[in-house]
Structure 1
Amino acid sequence: MTVNQSPSVGFSFHKAVVLKDRKRLKSFLTGLFRDNKQELERLHYVFCSDEEIIRINRQYLEHDYYTDIITFDLREKATDAMNADIFVSVDTVRSNAHGLGERFYKELHRVIFHGALHLCGYNDKNSREQRIMRKMEDQCLLEYGF
């Protein structure tokens, strides 16, 4: 990233979903990277259907199952500023929210923050990492106002 270039956070909608106050969300995500000492160049969220997420999961990760989020770190080197695409299945988020008895928009934001936290270095491969990730997600939701 050049010295005077500000980070870019964007959203594309392959599946319709209302994402309120995008400017505030972009600012929050930019701050999340800054607070985690991760330089951010570009972060792009794509909101899609279950059909699209499973196609991506099969094609790029060789996984044959639905998921709520797939995160692609597109940097050439780990020391480069973050450049990433995050795909979010609106269908799976809605289904998970219903199954958890949670409001859709809260669950949607949890998933949005989850993807960003992965890019900031948080993992969820084992139970210890999962507890830390959940704590960070909850902290983000609280700070954001949920």
Structure 2
Amino acid sequence: MPSAARLRKWTLGHPGITLRIVGEREARRINKQFRKTDRATNVLSFDTGDIVLCHPVIAREARQQGKTIAAHYAHLVVHGVLHLRGYGHEKKREAARMARAERRILARLGFPDPYAVKFPRPA
């Protein structure tokens, strides 16, 4: 898992953000409570400035996608921060705008385009 200093850097200096790293049980409970979805997810953002990251899901996705865990954490922290700044991905145009912002920010942080890699299919 990335260090606290690296995680803070990826919040892009956005004030008032709390990053909380949880296990699958807690991520599932939070997702069910707030999104009515009964499964753990990789990242959840809340208007209060809280970003919840599920370590087991992130680690599994990183392995499946052939990414480093640091690159995947960076992507999801940036993704969560962009949600706090009003970005969304419910519609194609919104998703494209958000993906462009993610690519630009991650490149500045020294990470590859999270969408450019052809990932192997999970076994």
Does the TM-score normalized on the shorter chain lie above 0.5?
Answer: yes
TM-score, normalised to structure 2, is 0.80
Q: Do residues 18 (structure 1) and 2 (structure 2) align?
A: yes
Q: Do residues 104 (structure 1) and 69 (structure 2) align?
A: yes
Shift in alpha-carbon separation, 1:23–1:65, aligned structure 2, 3 A: closer
Q: Distance in 2 between matches of 1:90 and 1:18?
A: 11
Specify every segment of 5 or more residues in structure 2 that has no aligned partner in the other structure, as ranges: 112-123
Q: Do residues 142 (structure 1) and 107 (structure 2) align?
A: yes
Q: Residue type of the partner of 2:5?
A: D
CA RMSD, Structure 1 to Structure 2 (Å): 2.0
- Could you tell me whether the CA contact under 8 Å between 2:7 and 2:77 is conserved in 1? no
Shift in alpha-carbon separation, 1:70–1:127, aligned structure 2, 3 A: same
Matches within 5 A, 1:36-55: 40=15, 42-55=16-29
Greater strand fraction, Structure 1 or Structure 2: 1
Q: Distance in 1 between matches of 2:45 and 2:31?
A: 10
Relative contact order, higher structure (CA 8 A, sep 6+):
2
1:9-59 CA distance string (max 9 Å, x none): xxxxxxxx3326348606x612xx5xxxxxx4x110001111110011112
TM-score, normalised to structure 1, is 0.68
Q: Residue type of the partner of 1:107?
A: H
How far residue 100 of structure 1 moved from its aligned partner, in angstroms, is: 1.5
Matches within 5 A, 1:96-135: 96-135=61-100
Q: Do residues 66 (structure 1) and 40 (structure 2) align?
A: yes
Q: Residue type of the partner of 2:94?
A: E
Shift in alpha-carbon separation, 1:19–1:114, aligned structure 2, 3 A: same
Q: Distance in 2 between matches of 1:20 and 1:44?
A: 11
Q: Residue type of the partner of 1:29?
A: L
How far residue 133 of structure 1 moved from its aligned partner, in angstroms, is: 1.3
**Number of aligned residue pairs:** 111
Q: Distance in 2 between matches of 1:122 and 1:104?
A: 24
Moved segments of 4+, more than 4 Å? none
Q: Distance in 2 between matches of 1:131 and 1:48?
A: 29
